[in-house]
Chains A and B, each alone.
Chain A
Amino acid sequence: MTFLSAPDQDQLAELLNIGVSHAGTTLSQMVGRRIAISVPTVVLHEIDTVSLFAARPDDVTIAVLLRLSGGMEGYVFLLFPHDASISLLQTLSGKTVADLHTLNEFDRSVFQEIGNVVTGGMLTGLSKFLHLPLVQSIPDVVIDMRGAIFDSLAASMIQAHGKFFALDVAICVDAANDDVACNEHTEAVAHLFLFLGPEAAKRVLEFTHEMARS
């Protein structure tokens, strides 16, 4: 079930795009080459345990998790599919790896930093929009099967809230001359999920409706 009307989705996507474009600038400065990040789609889902069952649960992926606190409690969760992770790592660090299980501490820290920068950019935008202070924790990186990662996240959220909402944000990274860009024909490089309890989700919806009307 989705809760955002088309104008609401446009409004939120525009807002998050402003945030993550700053993140792209920061990443560009970090790696010394042009990196552009954009948000093509935003969808808000109410999650029950069955719909959470992710597509391709056996796929090994990289997950970066950050806890959200301050004016709103929740989690920010970035999911990098297998092939996109390898491509992204090569773009950002120049390193070629064949498999995600061979990643060392430095490689993991690259994804921690992507999580930090992208989440920071998005939260800055969201914080201004909602008029709430939002603080992010240090990122936690896990490499494992997609299904098991969602399983653990769902257990924590359902234990805390009974049901919860996920803001699903597709992320594209466009680095000149490298094949990590995405457009309408290719899969997003990463998905960012903002997991919120019912109260926090209601607040985001109310502000979004208000903005779309004005």
Chain B
Amino acid sequence: MSRIVEIRIAELFAGKSGEIILTTGIGSCVVIVLYDTLQRLGGMSHAILPRYAPGIGEEKETAGPDEVGRYVSRYADQSVDMLVAQIEALGGARTHMVAKLIGGAHMFFLLEGADGSIGLENILAARDRLRSYNIPIESEVVGGTVGRNARFDSTTGIVEIVTKV
């Protein structure tokens, strides 16, 4: 029976085969899923901001793990670094990893103007960091104006996405 681990905003978790990782309430945040296709293991992060900027929220930039094994990570670029390191620590290899991106929506015109800057920046930051590791993005469900929930099966690599529109 699979273990189910839920991550919240600004958290990440990497697990071996047989784990279900899920997160709810993805708005302008970006959810990054990394999956090792050979070892069949992977992880998920729910990043709230694009890039680590010294001086802003430094005291809570990263932390963990908690009793379940979740880490705190606010930024998309740092989340990619941490996921790669943790999946490799579990026996994976970056050369066998593929990525999936979810989120980066533009829900409120008032918050971000017409260009949806935070959601878009989150997506771009994740793509940039993944490129630096040469990890291909296998699929993306990003942008738009609708919130999402995501559920990742670390055995199959399949991500299920739920919207309520």
Contacts and interface: CB of A to CB of B under 8 A. Distances in A.
Contacts, number: 118
A151 B147 contact: yes
A37 B148 CA distance: 33
Contacts of B105: 148, 152
B118 interface: yes
Contact of A162 (B56, B122, B164): B56
A144 B146 contact: yes
Contact of A145 (B10, B49, B149): B149
Interface string A155-196: 110110011000000000000000000000000000000000
Contacts of A101: 164-165
A66 interface: yes
A31 B83 CA distance: 55
Interface string B129-165: 0000000000000000011110000000000000011
Given A65-B108, A144-B107, A149 B9 contact: no
Contacts of A36: none
- Which of A60, A101, A158 has the largest number of chain B CB atoms within 10 A? A158
Given A150-B25, A158-B49, A144 B118 contact: no
A60 B11 CA distance: 23
Contacts of A34: none
Given A158-B48, A158-B57, A148 B110 contact: no
B74 interface: yes
B17 interface: no
B111 A50 contact: no
Contacts of B25: 53-54, 57-58, 145-151
A65 B111 contact: yes
A212 interface: no
A23 to B, nearest CB: 20
Interface of B: 8-11, 24-29, 48-49, 56-57, 60, 72, 74, 105, 107-112, 118-119, 122, 146-149, 164-165
A-B complex: 4 closest residue pairs judged by Cβ atoms = A147-B25, A148-B147, A152-B27, A151-B27
Interface of A: 48-50, 52-54, 57-58, 60, 65-67, 75, 101, 137, 140, 142, 144-156, 158-159, 162-163
